[in-house]
Amino acid sequence: MSEELDDLYQQVIMDHSKSPRNFGKIEGFTHHAEGYNPLCGDHFGVDLILKDGVVVDVKFNGAGCAISTSSASLMTEAVRGRPTAEAEALFERMHALVTDRPDPGGPDLGKLEAFAGVRNFPMRVKCATLAWHAFHAALNGAAEPVSTE
Amino acid sequence: MNFDVERERARFPALHQQVWNKPLTWLDSAATTQKPDVVIDAEAAFYREDNANVHRGVHALSARATQKFEAGRDKIAKFLGAAESREIVLLRGTTEAVNLVANTWGTANVKAGDEIAISGMEHHSNIVPWQMLCQRTGATLRVLPYDDRGVLDLDAARTIIGPKTKLVGCVHVSNALGTVNPVRDLAALAHAQGAVMLVDGAQATAHVPVDVVGMDIDFYAMSGHKVYAPTGIGALYGKAKLLEAMPPWQGGGDMIRSVTFEKTLYAAIPAKFEAGTPNVAGVIALGVALDYLGSLDREAMYAHEDDVLAYGTERLLEIPGLRMVGTAPQKVGVLSFVIDGVHPHDLGTILDRHGIAIRTGHHCAQPVMAHFKIPATARASLGLYNTRADIDRLIDGLLAAIKVLR
């Protein structure tokens, strides 16, 4: 097994893919959006409760590959309790990480560092960012499902 | 004659390379086939020696290019079993061929209240053009069902194909399931109701004999790149009578008899549907690919492919938690499957690092995925050059992937 594969499918990613956290729906969400990758069929819904500009609760539902599922799961942990601007800044940082662009700085990535290995798999960047795109769309009130294409 | 797979493998240069430091195992021929050296050489030779526009100049190169181009058309006609070469319209591929029929024949013949019947296992390219036609005309799209093996339900088709039906569309071989469909029987049902029969042959031409006259098919669409020829070239076969009655599609050069600002007279078939400079090198190379297939013992080649398919099915079923998607008794070229707890996309990535190319996803057949209630499958697909050893490498790769992912 190549080192790059080990990097991609590391323990934290496999753990969150097999046992996703915050999986489900929120009754009475204040914000919601869906993310869809038409190339592979991965589809996630993201429900949010925003209060005074803070993400007080977040859940996701749907189905996807190990990378997209674990990314959605880790995202919910990373953004819960954060002000929306900080959560968006985290997405920027995460996006730079997986696309191998210069780090824009911002909130500490924490466990999201696990996705650094995605940069060696350009075909999988969309998997790692699908739930984040949906989260971003939910914050910005997108009515239509967002697509990675 | 017989079929020597190692000798033929040697003729496909792209197969002989390392990917991620592993020998390439190409199991994605349903997406596109690799090309034999004679096809690659033919494409290059055209540009080195014969490059000129066709049907135009009086000079030597144009004459030569035109002669080779039209010889390509003749070879396609013969390969498909057409009665005449003028029944072959040269296009970009299957998608363009279906769109041509929907836009010309469809616009002229389909009106509100009519029905178009297509099988439930169509590729998007044989769904969307008909939906668009139905939206334009007010016609209704009907779907012919199939069972959980991927076998078309002919009894249901008999009740759906009726007096309102104007066209029946069906994929000859399903790209997602591998099913070989009874297109001859469907054509008989269509004709009994006065409808025409269109067959999407993209996935079939490499794996089963095609005889449009024997099967009594009205329109047959094919793509060169699925049959060992370059991308960007394909053909529509249409019965001459139908093609002659159809209005033209795209306007431009080569499709006219005379043009004034008052009136344009259109050329005879097939030129009427071939506006603009065609893919000359592509047509010539497609002809060479068909010559190449013609030089092989096709029956022995089909038998070889059947053997690898059967072996692949048997070995895949050894993997715990694996389920085949598409188990029709009449099946060629495709091993679609899902594995419990493992997403196809992750399999694809890990197999790639083992040098193994498969397709993962919905295969542009989302209704098929919906039928089986799955978002995607992993699909290993075969060409004439695949061997049992390729299957063994696939199985080893899958076992390694499962170790990581489960």
Short-list A139, A135, A128, A143, CA closest to A35: A135
- Is A50 contained in some domain? yes
Q: What is the mean pLDDT of chain B?
A: 96
Nearest to A5 among B350, B366, B375 (CB): B350
Q: B274 with B66: CB under 8 angstroms?
A: no
Q: Count Cβ–Cβ pairs < 8 Å, chain A vs chain B.
A: 54
CA A76 to chain B, closest CA, distance in angstroms equals 21
| Structural domain span for residue A130 | 3-143
- C-alpha B357/C-alpha B406 separation (Å) is 21
Using an 8 Å Cβ cutoff, are B185 and B215 in contact? no
pLDDT at position A40 over 80: no
Which amino acids of B are annotated catalytic? 364
Helix (H, G, I), strand (E, B) or coil at B266: strand
Q: How far is B404 from chain A (nearest CA, A)?
A: 7
Q: What average pLDDT does range B100-109 have in this prediction?
A: 97
What single letter denotes the amino acid at residue B221? A
Residue from the list B341, B360, B405 with its beta carbon closest to the beta carbon of A9: B405
Q: Taking residues B151-164, report their average pLDDT.
A: 98
State the pLDDT at residue B58: 86
| Position A82 pLDDT exceeds 60 | yes
For residue A105, what pLDDT is reported? 93
User: How much is the pLDDT for A144?
Assistant: 63
Q: What is the mean pLDDT of residues B286-292?
A: 98
Chain B residues with CB under 8 Å of A66 CB are: 343, 346, 405
- Does residue A35 have a pLDDT over 80? yes
Per-residue confidence (pLDDT) for residue B56, from 0 to 100:
78
pLDDT band at residue A2 using 50, 70 and 90 as cut-offs: confident
Which of A32-41, A82-91, B105-114, B334-343 has the least mean pLDDT? A32-41
Provide mean pLDDT across the span B259-270: 91
- Residue A143: pLDDT band (50, 70, 90) is low
What tokens does A51 get? 């209060």
Looking at chain A, which residue has its C-alpha nearest residue B367? Answer: A41
Rounded distance between C-alpha atoms, residue B140 and residue B121, angstroms: 18
Alpha carbon of A41: minimum distance to chain B alpha carbons (Å) = 6
Burial level of B319, CB count in 10 A (0-12/13-18/19+)? middle
Q: Give the residue numbers in A contacting B (CB under 8 Å), as ranges.
A: 1-2, 4-5, 8-9, 14, 18, 39-43, 63-67, 69, 121, 123-124, 127
Give the Cα separation of A67 and B343 in Å (integer).
10
Reduce the secondary structure of B117-159 to three states and give it as a string.
EEECCCCHHHCHHHHHHHHHHCCEEEEECECCCCCECHHHHHH
Amino acid at B172: H
The answer as to whether A109 is a domain residue is yes
How far is residue B115 from each of residues B157, B161, B168, B183, B241, measured CA to CA in Å? 13, 9, 9, 18, 22
Mean pLDDT of A114-126: 94
Cis amide linkage into residue B270, ω under 30° from 0:
yes
Question: Phi/psi at B157 (nearest 5 deg)?
Answer: -60, -40
Chain B CA closest to residue A11: B404
CATH homologous superfamily, domain B5-30+297-405: Aspartate Aminotransferase, domain 1 (3.90.1150.10)
pLDDT of residue A1 exceeding 60, the answer is: no
Identify the band that residue A3 occupies on the pLDDT scale cut at 50, 70 and 90.
confident
Chain A within 8 Å of B369 (Cβ-Cβ)?
A: yes
C-beta atoms of B376 and A41 within 8 A: yes
pLDDT at res. A41: 78
Find chain B residues with C-beta within 8 A of A65's C-beta. 343-346
Please provide the average confidence, as pLDDT, over all residues in chain A: 92
- The dihedrals phi and psi of B308, each to the nearest 5 degrees, come to -65, -40
A96 lies in a domain? yes
Q: Do B345 and A8 touch (CB under 8 A)?
A: no
- Work out the average pLDDT over B33-52: 98
pLDDT reported for residue A146: 75
Q: What is the pLDDT of residues B318-355, one digit of tens each?
A: 999 999 999 999 999 999 999 999 999 999 999 999 99
pLDDT at A142: 63
Interchain proximity B361–A121, CB inside 8 Å: no
**Into how many domains does chain A fold?**
1
Instruction: List the beta bridge partners of residue B241.
Output: none
What is B40-294's CATH topology? Answer: Aspartate Aminotransferase; domain 2 (3.40.640)
**CB contact at 8 A, B27 and B390:** yes
Mean pLDDT of B249-266: 89
pLDDT grade, residue B1 (50/70/90)?
confident
- Flag whether pLDDT at A39 surpasses 70: yes
B370: contact with A, CB 8 A cutoff: no
What is each CA distance from B209 to B122, B151, B233, B307, B332, in whole angstroms? 20, 19, 20, 17, 12
User: What are A41-73's pLDDT values in tens digits?
Assistant: 789 999 999 999 999 999 999 989 999 999 999
Question: Which member of B346, B360, B361 has the closest CB to residue A66?
Answer: B346
Picking from B346, B353, B361, the nearest residue to A2 by CB comes out as B353
